[in-house]
Structures are given as structure tokens and as C-alpha cells.
Structure 1
Amino acid sequence: MKYSLMAASIIFGLSGQAIAATYKLTELPTSDIGKMHYVTDVNESGDAIGRVTGLYNLPVDISYIDFQDSTITNYYDTYKRILEDREETITFTLDDIENGDALSTDSEAHNFMLGYLSSGTQSASAEFQKISSVAGLEFTGTSANEVDIFDIESPDYAGLTRSVSNAMTAVAADGTAVGWGSAPFKKITFTPEGESEAKTYFVRDWHARGIVISPGGKRVVLDPSFTEYGGYSIASDITLTDEGNYLVVGQASVGLSENSQTTITDNCDDKDEPEAVCIWRQGRGVYDLRAYQWTLDKDFNVIETKDLGIGLERKDDEDNPFYSSAYAINKAGIAVGRSRVRIDDSLKAYEEPGYYQDGQFFTLREHDDFYQTGYALDINDNNVIAGYVGRQNQGTLFEVNGFYYDMNDKTLVEIPSYFSGSDTYVRDINNAGYMVGEGETEKNVSNPRSEAFMYKIGDEKLTNINDLLPCKSDEFPYTVSEAIRITDDNTIYAVATKTVTKLDSFGNPDKDSDGNEASESVVVPVVLTKTGSTEISECVAPETETYERQSASLSWLSLIALPLVWLRRRRKR
């Protein structure tokens, strides 16, 4: 399945023309437990992992909820007004949920409760159930199977707690996978000091742990070096070396800064609330976090761990935590990621992409802009690094450009974009120098649109992967929005969108009061394989797609922003 030189020159030399069926799109299997499916990594043999979001039938525990409390009654009133704004009638009351069976029979009521629990106040409070709508997946030839990392059976309802984060992140050449997950929440009662009435709290033992899962199912938890107050570790990538060892990189807690220790000592005293609640509220940012590496032998024993370093040294008067991260590693043991760095002895710490060698972090460019930042996400076995750089202000990334950096000549080169100002993200690079990712095709609109690209080092422009596929039609409804992985034979793994019948939170067709079904756009994982064709044809530009809601139920995720939705509607009147 290698490119011929002629085919490569045709594919990457065309401008403004569509290439018909140069690639064939095949959907990977999907599960029936959730709505949106993604592929996150694949090895050269086609062993693939991913995730599913928008899980159906999420469990809701109402045993501890006071249905007369103003937070839920006000939320209900707002929800009801939004439906009335759409000339619809609410199908349930709070009493139907508390004392009836609405939660198990009415998807609108189920949606409502998921939205309530996930809204700002409840989500930030340990006095409410924690729900996570994501699960890990492994793909076979015919199915997508859930990978449960750290969840447990709930003592309060049937099935898993569904309170954990799950991320399958990378797969080695032999099918060994890595990922990370959070500890499950458990419901406890606690009586604050000076009070006589116990309160319900939801607590967990630690923030996150990395994990290695062998092809035979053996699991190895990757503990951080610092585990006090739970600790934190994640695994981002794995490489199988020629010697048969596994190199795993990610991030791990290595200690607490002085300010973090003071915060915990002063506030997490197990008096006003459980200590675990206070630690959870601090988040992972309470720790000093470092790019970290675990080495495992062929029998999956951890034989070495090491802190990969950070791009600065803490000054005597600096008391806050610092961090570095590793996202990928190649067979030579060179890891890439990002780190805090210091410029000209400044007190300000910046974030830059770079690589780790011999316990040090090396940046890829000069830092000459206050807002400058970036991510080094991949490195091939020829020591070419790929990622993206941009500018960041108050957590928002803008002016994003993909790049590659050849460690042999130590030069960072920004790649082309679809148009000037198009944010461009590189996700992967193969050993032949082909890169994939996504770039904006529409900007300055309410919902910016991105499409997947392929780029070969040295080319003058990106190739929109959708131009290499059949023309969009009823028979071919796909738009490839993001390319995740490109193998050495240029097989591409990606995610695509298509329009399907809308399903409710129970996984059933979503219908309005008149029985009409709605449509929605979903994400599916796909593999793109070359057909050998180099025929050129023009695709007629499709009419702008519009997705009319057709009066079906509100998504529970959209309910998180209910107050904002209501304010926007009020302003339009």
C-alpha cells in the first residue's frame, strides 16, 4: 500500500481540484453505549483504541436530593420557560421525578436531571453526584468494546458508577495500550464540626493514574513518585523498543510546592468537610507535575521510573507549583511535550514546546512574545518533531500554526494553512514525513468549521483529505473533520461527521409530541485506505447544510448553559 512516486506527485501537486476516490473511507465499528465515537491511536498493524462520549442511560441517584431546594426548583422553572419559548410543553414535574418513575421512563426528565447535576453550582460541589459521560474503547474487526479502567460497580444503583474519567491514549507495535483514568467517586456521610446533622458527600481517593494494558489483559498501574493526598499520573504514549522493553511517558506528581502545602494545611483539616473533598477541590494543579517516564520489561514489570525534567529552576522566593508534560516518545527514547520555561531570568514562567534528553528540557525556538505557547505532540523515529504553536491569552489559544522540527538541523518550520488566519493543528507524523491534523475552513462564524488535512514535509500547501474521497452525497454523507493518525504506508485514521436520526439520553429515537423524528450530526471513527486511483473529477459544491432541530428534546449537555441560553433569548425579545 505504498505510494508510487507518480501517485504522490499527482495527489500533492494539484490545486483547486478534487481527486475522486483516491482514498476509500471505511467506518470503524461503533458501540451501542454512547453517541459520539473517536479513534485516538492505532499501530502499524491496525490495532486501534478510542473513546465514546454522550453515554446513554447514565445513572442518576436522587436519594439525597432535596427537591424543595431553590437550586433545583429555579432550574426547573428556567427549563420550562425555554420549552415554552419553543412552543412546547414540559412532560414532567419535579414530583414525577422524586416520587414517580419519570427518571426511568421519560428521557426529557432524565435529560433534565443530568443537566442539573452537571451545571456549574452542582458540578463544583462535592455534595452532588459526579457523572462522567465518556468511556474508553478498543476496536476489533467487528466491534468496539468498552475498556473500563478504574470504575467499579455502584452500591447505590445497578451497573458502574459512571463517575470516572477514562482515556485510552496510545498503543504500541504489539497491541499493548496505555491510558489513564480517575478514581471512582463514592457516597459518604460526614458531620461538620459544630453541627449535629450529617451531610452527604461524594469523594474519591486520587485524581488520576496511568495504566498499561497488555494484549493478554494484564494491567499495570503507573504510580507517581509522590502519592500523598492521592497524587496524579497519566500515560500519554508508549513505544516498544527493539530490545523488547516498553517506554511509557506522561505526567506525574513529584511533590508539593510551599504554597500548595500551606493551602492544604490551612484548609483541608477534616473539620468543616472531609479532607478528600478539600483535596478534590484543589485539582491536579496543587501538585508539582513533571514529564515522567516508566520503563517496563517484556513481562510488564516496571524496571525504571524517571522525572524527565523541566525547563526552569525554581527561585528561592517562588512558592507556586510548576509543571512539564510529555506527550510522545520514539524508539530512541526521545520524549516530546511542553514545559514551563524562563526567559532572561524573568520571574514570569512561560510555556513552550520542546523535547527531553538527559534530564533536560530543550525548547524548539526563541521565546520572544509574552503570549507565545505551543505543543510538541509527536516525534517519529527520524527525530522529526510535530505539533502546533500559537498565542494564548486567558486560556484561549489563537493564531495557531502547525509545525515540524528536525532535530538534525534544529529548525522549527511552520507549515501552510488552508488560508491566512486559519488555525491549523498537527496531530501526527509518520516516518516518511507525512503529517495529519485539522485546519479551519471557515472562520469568524458562530461555529467555526474544520476539516482534516495531510501534508508532506516540503510541500507548498495542505491537502484537504475530503478532496481525496468521493464527492459528498446521500450515498457518501461524510465530512472528515480531524485526522488523528497516519501510518507509514499512509493509511489515515480519522473522525468524520455524518447526519443520522437523533437519539435521546436512553438511546432511543428522539421524537416530538407529533411523533416526528429529529436529525443530528454525530462523530464516527473512520479508516482511509488508498485505492490506487488517480482520476480527477470536479465535485459540485453542496448547498450549505442546515440542521433543524425539529422540536426534539434538549441535549443534557446543553442544559449546563441554561441561564445563558435564557438570557440570550430574553435579549432577542
Structure 2
Amino acid sequence: MKQLRRCVTPLCAAVLSAMTLNANAALYRVIELTVSEDGENNTYALDATSPNADEGVVVGVGTAITETSDGDLDGGDDETNLASDNLGEYDLNGDGDDEDLVDDLEDWMLRYMSDYQQTYVAMVNDSLMEWERVNVWDTINPEDGEYRGTTNDYFFGVNDKRVAVGYGSAPYYIFRYEDEDTHDETYSIIRDFASRGFVYEVGDDVDGERIELTPEEYEYGGLSGAYDISDSGIAAGYSSVRFVEGAHDNHDSCIYDENLPEIVCDYRVANGYYGDTYHIEAYLWQLDSNANVIQTRALGHPIELDDDVELQLVSQAFAANDNGYAVGSSDNYIDTENPSLYNLREYAAIYTQYSKNDIGILDITDRNMYPANTVSETVSRATDINNNNIVIGYAIRYINTSWRTKAWYYDISSNSPEMIELPSFFESSSMTAKSINDYDMVVGEFEWEPRPGGVTRRRHGYLYDMRSDNFVDLNDAIECTDQFDIVEANVIRNDGVILATATTQQSILDENGDPIFDSNGDEITTTVARAIALEPIDGGDYDSCSDADEAFPDNEREGASFGLWSLLLPVAWFVRRRYTLSR
């Protein structure tokens, strides 16, 4: 839950001072959160402290620029990425002897292999200055003194005490051993865990301490992650809590039937080589004033399994408020009247087990309105909750021969609570709801193009004020001259500041950092995603834009690129995903 107050100082002041003031040109000023000194292809802001915190902090994720080899790894090509299944095609030591491939393969080479390269980096932005990367569980490789570069790291939440949470993976490394059958030296590329939650106190030292959110069940590695943290120090996320029936047998078979080392079998079982390994539950960690874990709580599932059932159950908590409620999603029955373990889907869930009104897990999805489908395992999700006990989320509904995602809200405190859809731009417009503040203002993304059939529809970020029933396309709320196309809104704070993702054009540079031009002398550009902050203008109004696209007036902005935007948005919604390795 984003617990943020009126715009009084640091973060708002930073926004105000960073932009040229133009009182009535638009509803929002735009500030771009620039890339880090390491450079990222795309950046995404996913949470921020409130203006009444000591200093403003934004956390998020960036997509790493792919590292390429220097020629010694590829037998002569200038640049390449290696895949784990084609090592035999490359001369790893540059001497033309393919028989030495295994002997000469070293840990530092893994950062150039497409199967192990880092894709996502955790990023923190202090006072709306430049992003900085935070290496979560990566380690320094003694062979070259650099980070191994084979982890994926994510920040999702931060509270007003500058305590941030997320999760990251362990780095890959080469484990060498003797094959018990052939007695030849061989190797496996493994890591200690795929996902481990962490707590990080934002400070002057970007390499400051990370506090592990240890899974309840961590044999073979385990899984954990955190998506949100309240000012009272409650981190919400997921944890492996026990083994799926048969997981231990798979581990024993790996050791005794396949004759593999135990550490290799740990990795294989934990990473789904033989099927699902862990039951995953929505989970809470209570932190003290020093950000140390002092209490944990698994929030359970709505389904109870017999001990001999070989089936994985997954639930997750995406947010928690100050009143004792957490929200997320869980596996549940498609037909609650005739429950069957062979007919499960992911449904929105409200967890009340640590509230004074503990009544268990609330299943709030109308199966008739939102029936299970073959398009997605997810039927509905609850994505956020405010301190008014209003929950938001999305659900999939069948409209005009197609399955469409619809945003909704649910008022826990209502006498007759139910999922109520937010008004759509048009009936079949797909929408998601991602964040709600304590003034009942919701942000997310929606399809603004009424294109028919299977044609891809472009999306924009929106703001919906529940109290005034006012819906705003955020691209209509900024200056026409802004070179951004706002494609999703991720967070809204109590002062009205919105963190969003926008696409824009960026020059393609040569090795000297100079722009590249085509045969006509025009600068060559590419579309990138950038994290932006939108700060409300006091007394602002809509800018009067000329229509750039007669077919879809008032929506096409400079910087938009049809089709490409969807390739740039794997993070802000994929990250809060159903965590399972083999489904």
C-alpha cells in the first residue's frame, strides 16, 4: 500500500524545480528519471516514498544492455552471445582446439551466454536524481574482479522509512565433478536459488546491506519474494512453505539413479526439472526498526490437500494496508459448487488472517461474470489496497467474441461488497488497475483504440477518480510538446504524483557515442521505455493539441511507436507474476 501524504516537500519540490513551470499548459508536469551510469535499455518506476519522508526515493527495475564478447570467445566474430546448447561451435580459449572447451570454460564466460545473462537490474533513484543499480545477491568473480552478471534483480516496494523490498536470483557458477559412469571430468552450470526476497535500506552506500527474507521451506534452495512494504514494517510477498508430494523422491532418484552429485540434484529439483517442487503461499514478514525480521506469517490457500496429492498450490500477496488486510491471488476452484483439483485457476484473494476481522481468505470473484478460459490461467487478481479498505484488481471477461481484461474495485467495508468494474474507455477496452491511493484515485493502463478482431491495440496510462467518477487518459493531461507516449501508470501517491512508463525516441549511437544517420541525412532512432514522474499542476488545464492521427484523434503523441511499445513492457506487470517454475 502506498502510504503517501500531501505534496509538501522533498519529492514534489524536486519535481517542481526540475521542470519549467507553465501554469495552465497541462494537468501534469513530466520529469524523466534518467538511466544509471551503467546504462539501461528501458527503465520502470514501481514505487516511491511520500513527500513527507526525509528524502524522496523511487525504486524500480531496468533492462540491462546485453554484454557481448571481445572475440576470444567466438572464434573470430567481433560480438556474440553464446547459448548453452552451442558451446561446441565456439573456441572458448582462442586456440582452435574444441576438445578443451570444458576444461577452459570459466565462470566469467557465463555472462556472455544467452541462457545465463542478466536481463533485469534492481534500481533506486534518490530524490529524483539519476538511477543507481543495486546488485542484490550477485557476487564478485575472483577471476576478473567483476560482478558475475548472471542474476536478475527487482525492486517493487519502498516505505517512508526508506526501506525497500524485492527479490533477486543467485548467480550461476560452474560446478565440476567426475562422471561416475565414464570417470571423465564434466560440469553443470547451477545456482543456489532462483528467487530470494530481500530488504534494503536506501542510503549513501549503494552496496549497503541486504537482509534476506528467508523462505519457510528452503531445503534445495527455496523461493521467496516481496512486493510491498508498509510504514509499520510489514513486507508482503510469497514463500515456499512445504514440498509438493514426490519432490523428495525426485531428489533421491537424481542422486541414486542418475548418479549425480547432491548439489546438482538440489538445483535440478528446486528449478523444476522433474516437476513442481514447492507449495508457494502468500507471506508476511514483520520487520523491526532496524529492518530485521522478527515475525513471519504464511497466509495459506483456500484449498486444503491430502498428504498424498501430487499437486502444487500457489498464492501470493501483492500489497497490505494498515488495517490488517493483504491482497493478492491464489489457486482456487473453477466451480466452487463441484470442486475439483483438476479444475483450478488463479483468482483474486483478500487475506484477513492478521486483521482484527479475521474471517479467512475472501474469494470475491463471480464465476458467472468471469468464467475460466483457455487463454490464461489467471481469471482475476487483486493488485492493491488502500487504507479505506478498497481493493483494486483485474479480471478476464468474454466480450464481443474475445477475452478482455477488466479493472475492478471492491470495498471491504461496504454492507454488500462486490467486485465493481471501473468504467471503460469503450466496452471491449482491456484495462488493468495497478495502484490506489487513500483518496480513492486509481491508475493503470487501458486500450484506447477500438480496433476490431485480433489487431493489436495500443495502450495508454490512465487516472480514475472514484469519488468524482472522472476518467483521464494521461496522454491528454500533459503538454502536447512532451516527447512521451504514456503507456502505463504504475503508482499513484496521496499527493497525486503518478509514476508511469512512457515510450520515447532515442538516438542510436556509434562506438564513439555519436548519432548515426541514414542515407537521407536523418538521425536514426529507436523506441525505448522510460520511467517518468507526473506531478499535478496547481490550476492546470488540458493543453489544446492538434490531431496527429485522424483515425484516432487526440491520442497519438510524438514519441509513440505502434507495436514496439508492447515489446518494451515486460516488467511493470510481468514482475508480479504467478511464481512457479514449470507451469
Shorter-chain TM band: 0.7 to 0.9
Higher mean C-alpha deviation, range 336-345 or range 490-499: 336-345
The alpha-carbon deviation at position 198 of structure 1 amounts to 2.2
- Code of the residue aligned with 1:467 in structure 2: it is D
For 2:83 and 2:170, locate their aligned partners in 1 and report how far apart those are by CA, in whole Å: 28
For 1:114 and 1:508, locate their aligned partners in 2 and report how far apart those are by CA, in whole Å: 27
Higher mean C-alpha deviation, range 218-227 or range 345-354: 345-354
Alignment of 1:302-313 (within 5 A): 302-313=293-304
- Per the alignment, do residues 429 and 363 of structure 1 end up closer, same or farther by CA in structure 2, a change over 3 Å counting? same
- Per the alignment, do residues 171 and 73 of structure 1 end up closer, same or farther by CA in structure 2, a change over 3 Å counting? closer
Contact 1:338 1:353 in 2 (8 A): yes
Instruction: Name structure 2 gaps, 5 residues minimum.
Output: 8-23, 97-108, 355-359, 550-555, 562-567, 571-583
- SS, match of residue 170 in structure 1: strand
- Per the alignment, do residues 157 and 200 of structure 1 end up closer, same or farther by CA in structure 2, a change over 3 Å counting? farther
Aligned positions, number: 483
Alignment of 1:61-76 (within 5 A): none
The alpha-carbon deviation at position 133 of structure 1 amounts to 2.0
TM-score between both structures, scaled by the size of structure 1: 0.75
The structure 1 residue matched to 2:497, chosen from 491, 495, 503, is: 491
For 1:56 and 1:62, locate their aligned partners in 2 and report how far apart those are by CA, in whole Å: 17
- Code of the residue aligned with 1:223 in structure 2: it is T
Per-residue CA deviations over 1:108-127 (Å, capped at 9, x if unaligned) read xxxxx999943xxxx3xxxx
Per-residue CA deviations over 1:504-530 (Å, capped at 9, x if unaligned) read 7x8956758989853101111111112
1:278 is aligned to: 268
1:109 is aligned to: none
The structure 1 residue matched to 2:348, chosen from 344, 350, 353, is: 353
- Per the alignment, do residues 407 and 74 of structure 1 end up closer, same or farther by CA in structure 2, a change over 3 Å counting? closer
2:365 is aligned to: 365
- Code of the residue aligned with 1:418 in structure 2: it is F
Per-residue CA deviations over 1:370-410 (Å, capped at 9, x if unaligned) read 33711111110111111111169xxxx94101111100122
Matching of residue 193 in structure 1 with residue 144 in structure 2: no
Matching of residue 23 in structure 1 with residue 28 in structure 2: yes
Alignment of 1:326-475 (within 5 A): 326-342=317-333, 343-344=336-337, 345-347=339-341, 348-358=343-353, 360-368=360-368, 369-371=371-373, 373-390=379-396, 398-409=403-414, 410-442=417-449, 443=451, 447-458=456-467, 460=469, 462-471=471-480, 473=481
- SS, match of residue 419 in structure 2: strand
- SS, match of residue 146 in structure 2: coil
TM-score between both structures, scaled by the size of structure 2: 0.74
Contact 1:452 1:464 in 2 (8 A): yes
Higher mean C-alpha deviation, range 430-439 or range 411-420: 411-420
Contact 1:251 1:326 in 2 (8 A): yes
Instruction: Name structure 1 gaps, 5 residues minimum.
Output: 4-18, 77-92, 101-112, 124-129, 549-554, 558-573
- Per the alignment, do residues 197 and 218 of structure 1 end up closer, same or farther by CA in structure 2, a change over 3 Å counting? closer
1:301 is aligned to: 292
Higher relative contact order (CA 8 A, sep 6+): 1
For 2:240 and 2:70, locate their aligned partners in 1 and report how far apart those are by CA, in whole Å: 32
Contact 1:58 1:133 in 2 (8 A): no
Matching of residue 481 in structure 1 with residue 482 in structure 2: no
Per-residue CA deviations over 1:259-293 (Å, capped at 9, x if unaligned) read 33333332355625732442354179421111111
- SS, match of residue 309 in structure 1: coil
Higher mean C-alpha deviation, range 511-520 or range 45-54: 511-520
The alpha-carbon deviation at position 203 of structure 1 amounts to 1.0
The alpha-carbon deviation at position 487 of structure 1 amounts to 0.9
Contact 1:153 1:161 in 2 (8 A): yes
For 1:278 and 1:268, locate their aligned partners in 2 and report how far apart those are by CA, in whole Å: 11
- Code of the residue aligned with 1:49 in structure 2: it is V
1:139 is aligned to: 125
Contact 1:41 1:171 in 2 (8 A): yes
For 1:44 and 1:2, locate their aligned partners in 2 and report how far apart those are by CA, in whole Å: 8
The alignment's C-alpha RMSD in Å is 3.8
